[in-house]
Amino acid sequence: MTGEKTHISVRPATVDDAPAIASLHIRAWQWAYRGQLPDAFLDDLSTALVRREQQWMQWLSQPGASFTSVAALDDRPVGFVHAGKARDADLEPHTGEVYSIYLDSAVVGQGVGRRLMSTAIAELSARGFQTAVLWVLESNQRARRFYIAAGWAPDGKRQPLELDGTTVFEVRYRRRLSLA
């Protein structure tokens, strides 16, 4: 893709996107978290593809509970964002959450993540949420820089996450939303 102009569209995901999103989700974890999570855990993620596809089919078939947008290059998903109502009990009722945002490594640095995040923020605002949160691995400096550039800030919450016998920590970020 170097040197050529690419057209990436952002659209709501459909159930038909579930296999592509599941595969992208696994690949994105494998490149984004290499060196932060155990290699054996990351290498083994591919064996969970069928389970991941089923999970995405379930999420995408329940409109209203959450929403997912995909960034597509020639109809092939190269990124996605999944968001909805915040899950943390300590948050105000009008708080949304970006559950996940992932990109194919080939499109990192091309504005795809910014477009997906803008789409999520606009949709959360349109749904009446006044604030939004997200969780990010404490060690994920690339993502943390991205979130700060997009107007997010750490809110002081930190929690352990146990993966494959290894404990890592996530930190919560928060931002105000403008009402649509």
Report d(CA 144, CA 97) in Å as an integer. 16
- Domain assignment present for residue 3? The answer is no
Report d(CA 122, CA 178) in Å as an integer. 8
- Domain assignment present for residue 1? The answer is no
Cα-to-chain-centroid distance, residue 16: 19
Task: List the beta bridge partners of residue 77.
Answer: 72
Domains in the chain, number: 1
8 vs 88: which has the higher pLDDT = 88
Ramachandran bin of 49, using left for φ above 0, alpha for ψ from -120 to 50, beta for the remaining angles: alpha
- Domain assignment present for residue 146? The answer is yes
- Domain assignment present for residue 73? The answer is yes
Task: Give the pLDDT confidence of 133-145 residue by residue, as tens digits.
Answer: 999 999 999 999 9
Supply the range of the domain harboring residue 119.
Answer: 8-176
- Which strands sit side by side in the sheet containing 76-85, from one edge to the other? 8-12, 66-73, 76-85, 95-103, 131-137, 166-176, 153-163
Using an 8 Å Cβ cutoff, are 97 and 87 in contact? yes
- Count of CB atoms within 10 A of residue 88's CB? 12
Asked whether the predicted pLDDT for residue 2 surpasses 60, the reply is no
- Domain assignment present for residue 31? The answer is yes
- Domain assignment present for residue 88? The answer is yes
- Domain assignment present for residue 147? The answer is yes
SS3 state at 111: coil
What is the sign, positive or negative, of the torsion defined by CA atoms of 94, 70, 112, 41?
A: positive
Q: pLDDT band at residue 70, thresholds of 50, 70 and 90?
A: very high
Task: Give the pLDDT confidence of 22-46 residue by residue, as tens digits.
Answer: 999 999 999 999 999 989 999 999 8
CATH of the domain at 44: 3.40.630.30
SS3 state at 72: strand
- Domain assignment present for residue 2? The answer is no
pLDDT at 1: 42
pLDDT at 166: 87
